[in-house]
Each structure stands twice: as structure tokens, then as C-alpha cells.
Structure 1
Amino acid sequence: MRDFRDAKAMAHTLRALLADHGVTISNSQSLELIAKAFGVADWNTLAATIRASSRVEAAKPPATIETPIRPQALRFATELERTLQRALGYSDARRQQYTTLEHFLLALIDDADASRVMLACAVDLAVLRQDLTDYIDNELQAIVVETGASSGGTRLTAAFQRVMQRTEAHAEQMGQQEVTGANVMVVIFAERLSPAVRRLHNQDMTAEDAAYMVERGIAKRDGAAAP
């Protein structure tokens, strides 16, 4: 069964089918009709979604080959898929060449699993959102592409990719069937020099706090993780 990533092929099929019935439409019109069928405003919006989805697939660690003694590769939860697309969208919208951990953490604020961990660790999400937005807008000017350059080509930084690999490993260690934003919040602290991690530390959140919450279900209380 086809999905939105087959949109161009579907538009071609639609155009040919209408032509067989004496109805002639242009290529652009067929693309717009397919976009409407998927419930989005126009073809440009759908095309951006397709590009983001492709980069999300590229962001995932390569699936391991199944053997009789190795479990099947984990799935990414739908919520985390959307979070990755949101992070890519933040850099695309600003015409930035790279999607960084700061873009990712900003997207994780609206991820139900990740935000639950941050709130349990006493993080003020509104303050974190403002700090990250200011950093991305003001400190990442060097990675903005020149005016007139095409957008949609943002790449993941090495730190981003390392976090994704550790995230999957943590989920596997926990015996989960899906990788979620909660796993990200445990492993992101390994990137000690990251401005994203520094902003979590500024709110007194630590890797231990996150691990207590995710692995033991214990929320941080009175400035420290409960014993």
C-alpha cells in the first residue's frame, strides 16, 4: 500500500487516469490534488514533509541483520519520529545547514515522553524553550546558508547522530520494543560540551536525575533525586 512518500507516482497515475476519461490537467495540478488528498494545504507543504521523513530515516542507526540469537531491531515510537521531523523543521525554517542537539532538545520540549522526564526533574520548560530559541537564532548564524540557496538540505551534526545511537542502545538495554524521547533524555548528557546539555545543567537536571525517572520511575524532589 502506498503512503505519502509515493505522492509523485500517485499524481502521475491520477493524471493518466483522468486523461483516459477525457479530463486533462497539468502536472502541477495533479500534485496539488494529491496534496489535498493527504490533508495538507499544498504540494510544497507535502514535499517538505516527504523531505523531512527521508532525513528521519537517515537519522536512525542502521538496522542490524537478524540472526537466530539476535533480537529484531527496535522501532522508533511515532512520537519520536514526529520530534525528529520537528527538529529538522526548525533548522530548515532558519535555512541552517545543520540540525544540532539544540534543535533536537527544543523539539523534545513538545515530545510527551521527553517532557514528562524533564518536568519530573524540575525543568522549567518555558525557560528552556526561550534559552534554546535565543541560542539557535543568535549563536548559530554561522551555519545559515546564504540568501537564495536552496533549503531542505540540513544535515545532522555528529553529536546528534551519536545521541541517536546511544538512544537505541539504551532502549534495548531497558528491554523496550520502541525507542522514545525518554531514552534520549537519559543519554543526551554524554555530550558534556553541548550547549543543549549545559542548559539542562543550568536548571540542575543531571543524567542521574533522568536515569532515576526513566529506569526507576522516581521523580526529583527538593533539588535532588529521591533515594
Structure 2
Amino acid sequence: MRDFRDAKVMAQTLRDSLNTKSISISHSQSLELVSRMFGLADWNTLSALIKSGDRIAAARPPTIQAATTRRPAIPLRDLVPFPGATYPLFVGRAKTVSALNYAFARQSEVVIVLQKQSAVDDPSFDDLHEIGARAELNELTPLPDGTLKVQVRIGQRILLRTFSNEGDAFEADVSDISEEATADAPDLILRAVTRFERYAAVRNIRLPDNWPPFGRDRHPGRVADAIAAEIRLPLGQKYELLAVLDPVRRLELVEALFDRTARPVSAALQATRQRAVAHARKRRHRYATLEHLLLALTEDDSAAAVMRNCRASLTDLQAKATAYLDTEFRPVEADDGELAQPTAAFLRVNDRAALAAPEVGYPVVTGANTLLAIFPEPRSPAARLLAEHGVTMVRAAKAVADGVGKEEA
């Protein structure tokens, strides 16, 4: 099976195949097309990836130890823990409480295991994923309702061998997974960290004070884990990252998450963006702003469905947005060649919507995703107009999470 290192051969094969159908494209065009097949923005990006891959030295793959250790176990329903991260856990199941008390009394680590279905209250081995992690217990706080809050520091990955739910406490036999010997991939690390920091800025994610937590660490697996702990993904996709034992491959998958070109935009949203620019051009505004975009979204079926779900009057909101642009807005008028350039906020909203769509299971980026992406711009009149009509971030987020405004690819 071919991989990205075969890109040039694939590009030539593509040109030859098209020539047989009397379709002629240049060599550079074929390289660009192949780059998009791999979900990358352009040939320059793919070329850098190829060079990075050529420099990655062969390394011994992660090893799963044959020996097993029995430890107290904590089954988690709604969190995928990544090595190096610290999490607060809220524990209420009696057998989990007993496992924690057992571990604290013996100053032992616990094993974090992950449930396949959150609704299962008394999981057995078949209800759990095979890859989990060790965890060091840092602080245990009893809560008034009888549950516990525990601060855990996640250690290395483990392979679940057996799991017991028959006694008073959950227990598991596990084998450690070692990935100490690994390859150096400096270019891949730099790209992944740079793209993640842009993602964090767009999504208003506050990075830990010690970011990056891996410092000068050149271990691609630890870099991948540090990023994966912060990004927003459905639990299933997060577990898939945890279960990738090859550290370089794991970082490649993490980096690929930030490629916006892999997020197709619905035809309706493309028309909405064009309509927003048209609203600005019609008024001879130099910039297309979030308010122009909001006016266009009132006519977007996907965004309109979310606004109606929030009990907003689209007619009133459209009239208010139009009135704002025609009377309150103080535009910078421009010559024809300077008309309707999208503002930085407009572009941020597009980026934020593209990143958010796969997180809620939308196959394409829609007007609903775009509407929700306006709220992190709280100083914008567009966000204020939405709030005045009952469209809040909480209500809109719930509607989007419920699939309102979802379009199929």
C-alpha cells in the first residue's frame, strides 16, 4: 500500500491516467492534487512531510511487557487520559471508591481503564478497551454527597489483561507498554506544535502555564500526548489516539487533525459566505464583518434551524442586522478594488467552525457550526444581536450537539 513518500510516483501515474482520457494537467497540478488526497493543504506541506519522513531514523517499536501486575482499577465513562496530564476525577461507584481507598492505604498506583459504553454501571472485561494507563494519586477529597474527588497524574500506557468486578473493589491485571526508544522527528514536532498553538488561539483554549509541558523533549509520542490531552474530540476518536502505540504515527495523526482542508464546507455555507461579502459590496464597505456574516446566516437553512430552535424570530433578527449595517455601522468605504475584504474576526470564525464541525460529528462545515463560532467574539455587535434575540451560546451549542442544522456530506 502506498504512503505519502510515494507522492511523486502517484502524481505521474495520475497525469498518465488523465492523458489517456484526453485530460491534460501540468506536473505541478498533479502534485497539488495528490497533496489533497493525503488531506494536506498543498505540495509544499507534503514535500516537507516527505523530507521529515526521510530523516526519521528507524527505532525500536514500543514493547508490551510479558509480566503482569495486579492493581486497583478505575473504569472511566467520559474521559480519555493521556500520559503526562493531570486530571480531577469525580468518583461515586462503590467499587471504584473501594479501589481508591485501597490504593491510598497502600500508597499504590491505580490503573485507569476506559468503558466502551458509559451506561454500564458494573463493567466486566468485555465492556472495557484494552489500552489504558497507570495513574498516580495526588490528592483525595471526600465530597458532601458521599462521592470522592481525586487528582491523578497519568503515567505510562498499559495493556489490560484481566479485569475483576467480583469483589468489593475493581481490580485489573495489566502489562506495561514501554515506548522509551523512539525516533527523532523534529520537523513533525515543530509542525504539530505550531498548528496546535494556532488551534488553541482560534478555540480560545487556555494552555497550561508550563506549556509546552515537554520542554525540549524530542520524543514525538510525548508531544502527541500533550497535544491530544488538550484538543476537543469525541471520546471514540480520543481513544483511537491513545491506542496508537507507534509514537511517530500518533503524532502524525494528531497533526493531521488540524488540517482544515480536510473539512469540506457545505455548498449552502459557501453560498452564505458569498452572500455576506455581497452584503458588504452592496454597501461599498471595505471590510466584510461578522455583522455581514450574521445577516447572511439568517438566510442559511442550517444556521436558521439553530436560531429557530433557540426561539428567535428570524424576521426580527434580520431586520435588526440590516438596520445596524445601514444606520449604526461606521464603515470604511473603499474603491472597487478594495471592497469587502473579510476581517480577521470573519476569518477566525471560519477557522473555528471548520475545527468544531468534526468534534460534534458533522460531516461538512455548516452554517450551524459558523453561527456557534461567532460567540467566542463577545465584543462583536453580531454576538450582541444574537443574545438580544435569545440566541445564546449555551442554547445554540445544545442545538448543534443534538444535530440541529446538520448536513450530510
Would you say same fold, with TM above 0.5? Answer: yes
Higher relative CO (CA 8 A, sep ≥ 6), structure 1 or 2?
1
Q: Distance in 2 between matches of 1:102 and 1:108?
A: 10
Kindly, what percent of the aligned residue pairs are identical? 36
Q: Deviations over 1:9-49 (max 9, x none)?
A: xxxxxxxxxxxxxxxxxxxxxxxxxxxxxxxxxxxxxxxxx
CA distance in structure 1 between the partners assigned to 2:341 and 2:356 by the alignment:
24
C-alpha distance in structure 2 between counterparts of 1:87 and 1:63, whole Å: 25
Work out whether 1:184 is the aligned partner of 2:370.
yes
CA distance in 2, matches of 1:63, 1:172: 18
Q: Partner of 1:197: helix, strand, or coil?
A: helix
Q: Which residue of 2 aligns with 1:36?
A: none
Question: What CA distance in whole angstroms lies between the structure 2 residues aligned with 1:201 and 1:192?
Answer: 10
Q: 2:379 aligns with which of 177, 190, 193?
A: 193
Aligned equivalent of 1:73: 262
Q: Contact 2:286–2:331 (CA<8 Å) still a contact in 1?
A: no
Q: In the TM superposition, what is the alpha-carbon distance from 1:217 to its structure 2 partner?
A: 4.5
1:144 aligns with 333
Q: How many Å separate the matches in 2 of 1:142 and 1:109? A: 21
Q: Distance in 2 between matches of 1:183 and 1:91?
A: 22
The corresponding residue for 1:134 is: 323
1:114 maps to 303
Q: Tell me what 1:209 maps to.
A: 395
Q: When the two structures are aligned, how many residues end up with a matched partner?
A: 155
Distance, in Å, in 1 between the alignment partners of 2:361 and 2:280 is 33
Relative to structure 1, the CA distance from residue 202 to residue 182 in structure 2 (aligned partners, 3 Å threshold; closer, same or farther) is same
The Cα shift of 1:174 comes to: 2.1
Secondary structure in 2 aligned to 1:76? Answer: coil
> Quick one: distance in 2 between partners of 1:110 and 1:197?
17
The one-letter code matched in structure 2 to 1:189 is F
Counterparts of 1:169 and 1:63 in 2: how far apart (Å)? 15
CA-CA distance at 1:177 after TM superposition: 2.5
Q: Residue 154 in 1 paired to residue 343 in 2?
A: no
Question: Which protein has the bigger helix share?
Answer: 1
Secondary structure of 1:165 counterpart? helix
The structure whose Rg is larger is 2
| Aligned position for 1:221 | none
Q: CA deviation at 1:203?
A: 1.5
Where do 1:31-70 residues align within 5 Å? 63=41, 69=253, 70=256
CA distance in 2, matches of 1:213, 1:176: 13
- How far did 1:198 drift? 0.2
CA offset digits 1:94-150 (Å, max 9, x no partner): 1100000000000001101000000000111111111111111112343223xxx32
Structure-1 separation of matches of 2:371 and 2:340: 23
Q: What stretches of structure 2 of length at least 5 have no aligned partner?
A: 1-39, 50-251, 405-409
8 Å Cα contact 1:95/1:151 also seen in 2: no
More strand by share: 2
Is 1:163 paired with 2:318?
no
User: What corresponds to 1:26 in structure 2?
Assistant: none
- SS of the residue 1:204 aligns to: coil
Of 297, 311, 314, the residue aligned with 1:125 is 314
Residue aligning to 1:57:
none
Distance between the aligned counterparts of 1:198 and 1:153, measured in 2? 25
Runs of at least 5 residues in structure 1 that lack an aligned partner in the other structure:
1-61, 219-227
SS at structure 2 position matched to 1:176: coil
Q: Quick one: distance in 2 between partners of 1:137 and 1:166? A: 28
In 2, distance between residues paired with 1:170 and 1:204?
22
Q: TM (normalized to structure 2)?
A: 0.36
- Out of 259, 273, 286, the residue aligned to residue 84 of structure 1 is 273
1:10 corresponds in structure 2 to none
Q: What amino acid maps onto 1:171 in structure 2? A: A
> What secondary structure is seen at the aligned counterpart in 1 of 2:312?
coil
Change (3 A) 1:217 1:73: closer
**Distance in structure 2 (CA, Å) of the matches to 1:127 and 1:142:** 23
Distance across 1 between alignment mates of 2:371 and 2:281 = 23
Letter matched to residue 291 of structure 2:
E
**1:152 offset after TM fit, Å?**
6.3
Cα-to-partner distance string for 1:181-225 (whole Å, 9 max, x where unaligned): 01112221111011011011111221110111111258xxxxxxx
Q: TM-score, normalised by structure 1?
A: 0.62
> What is the aligned partner in structure 1 of residue 285 from structure 2?
96
Which consecutive aligned stretches of 4+ in structure 1 deviate over 6 angstroms post-superposition?
A: none
